Structure 1
Amino acid sequence: QHAVLAAYESTPFQSAVAVLILANFVATIASTQLTRAAAGGDPAAAARLDVMEGVDLFFTAVFTAELAVNLFAHWLTPFVTSGWHLFDLVIVTLALVALGPINIPVKALRVLRAFRVLRLFGRLKSLRNIVTAITSSIVPVVRGPIGRPCSLQYFE
């Protein structure tokens, strides 16, 4: 169990999960656009939606396996005390329920998997540093074009 935890928390494993989350995010966006196009009568979009169902099934299987490894690695108490782990559990459970034969509105909730991309900000320190740096630089960048004409006007 300690070896699985070390492997799960390793940078290569977490990077692979991050890539999968981003790929799932892109696939969800594409699927949403294809659904709209198919509703508008585009036959090519309807055919591509079948492919997207396979992609969705792939991501559901991969994230179910990742959740199982996560649960085994952290076991019960550390798992249920983490908000991100519980969030993943809810999202994966909803995705598994949506695969069932009953046509229930849970299928519409698959879009919630796209919100797993938010987990990346908490998991990858370097990504969090980049986002912090970008957001911190917005104010000085905006001030530049505003401040420069004001200072030029002042010195004339």
Structure 2
Amino acid sequence: MTELTPNICKAKNQWLAQQVDVEYPTKESIEGRKIYLESVESAECFKIDPTQLPSGSYADDEIFLVDFHRLTVMFALLQSQRWQSKSEQELIVEFLTQIIYSEPCQLYIGFKNGEPSAAAMVTETGGELLISDIIVAANNSESEKRQFAASVIAKLPSDTDQFEAVYLEI
């Protein structure tokens, strides 16, 4: 994270960390949370002007709100590709498949040719919007991440003009 981490990035991380605060969490989901939280320490979260993002790389009908378990599993599998080690990937999948759909975060997944190929998380809180946890399976370049972020923003039901600030976490 950048030195002055915006509150919305902290809110997203807190929301994710709480996903395994249940009566009987699995050891693997706890380990996955630890790996995830360590990774966000090096993430950059910065304010953006959404109109300055490149054109979206996904059509509106290629992006879906994750709202049932099968899509959650696809989201988790895509996210796990951000880690190199197979064991870390498995722990991340265990952690992220525990997500319960609730505010302030929503998960989105993009499909190309019928296959899940990109994912991101959207957080809305305190008049701010954050697009984070972006993965694009092709080569996951920063350019592709920005294009997918633009696609997700275009898919959102709310206009970005209503937010005091829009952030991108890469």
TM over 0.5: no
> Counting helix residues as a fraction of each chain, which structure ranks higher?
1
Q: Which category of TM-score, normalised to the shorter sequence, fits these structures?
A: under 0.3
TM-score normalised per structure 1: 0.28
TM-score normalised per structure 2: 0.26
Q: Greater relative contact order: 1 or 2 (C-alpha under 8 angstroms, separation 6 or more)?
A: 2
